[in-house]
Amino acid sequence: MQIEATPLNGCYIIHDTVFKDERGYFTESFNQQRFAALIGQEVQFVQDNQSASTKGVLRGLHFQKGEFAQAKLVRVLQGSVLDVAVDIRKHSPTFGQHVAVELSDTNHKQLFIPRGFAHGFVVLSNTAVFFYKCDAYYNKQSEGGLMYNDAALGINWQLPHEQLILSDKDQNNPTLAQLLQQGNTF
């Protein structure tokens, strides 16, 4: 397991060590001690989630507020996605900036997203199975969203707009400027 810092403070790409032979491959996808040593902090994951989606499905950009804010460790078990994290910590020097990383079942990358970030992904392959660990339990009253195509963010989702499939909720999230006005940043 190796770590790669992103331009966003506290957000890291994790490269798994993969052992391959004629039978296939083996990788240790998570080790609490090694993970804590790599990122320089203790994170206690309490909930695992998994989703399956088809090409063009865009889930996000989501976050949890207040005491239910979540750090996430995300990976793809099957297929390929473009994974995006947006810094919504209003006092951060990288506020409003994002990082986009392709995660796939062949590159074995993971992305650690600290609390105070909005997160989303779009499926690039025909199907994808997405897996993530959270350090706080989901709470419906604490959920928030950020508009995926906010011009202020400038995210290139790598697929034409007409190919994107979004929930009604994700099509109506506020922009970053509206989040600031509502006081829904960290």
Domains and CATH numbers, the chain: 45-182 (2.60.120.10)
pLDDT (0 to 100) of residue 185: 74
- Token reading at 1: 């397991």
What integer is the mean pLDDT of 88-104? 96
pLDDT (0 to 100) of residue 182: 87
Could you say which DSSP state residue 33 is in? H
Q: What is the pLDDT of residues 36-90, one digit of tens each?
A: 999 999 999 999 999 999 999 999 999 999 999 999 999 999 999 999 999 999 9
Active-site annotation holds for 137: no
pLDDT at 172 over 80: yes
pLDDT at 153 over 80: yes
Proportion of the chain above pLDDT 90, given as a percent: 92
**Residue 152: Cβ within 10 Å count:** 9
pLDDT (0 to 100) of residue 161: 94
pLDDT band per the 50, 70, 90 thresholds, residue 186: confident
Which of the residues 12, 62, 98, 148 is marked catalytic?
A: 62
The burial of 116, by beta-carbon neighbours within 10 Å (0-12 exposed, 13-18 middle, 19 or more buried), is given as buried
What is each CA distance from 170 to 54, 80, 86, 174, in whole angstroms? 16, 21, 15, 9
- SS3 track for 66-125: HHHCCCEEEEEEECEEEEEEEECCCCCCCCCCEEEEEEECCCCEEEEECCCEEEEEEECC
Which of the residues 12, 98, 119, 132 is marked catalytic?
A: 132
pLDDT (0 to 100) of residue 77: 97
pLDDT band per the 50, 70, 90 thresholds, residue 5: very high
Distance, in Å, from the CA atom of 8 to the CA atom of 97, rounded to the nearest integer, reads: 8
Active-site annotation holds for 161: no
For residue 166, whether the previous peptide bond is cis, meaning omega lies within 30 degrees of 0, is no
pLDDT (0 to 100) of residue 183: 80
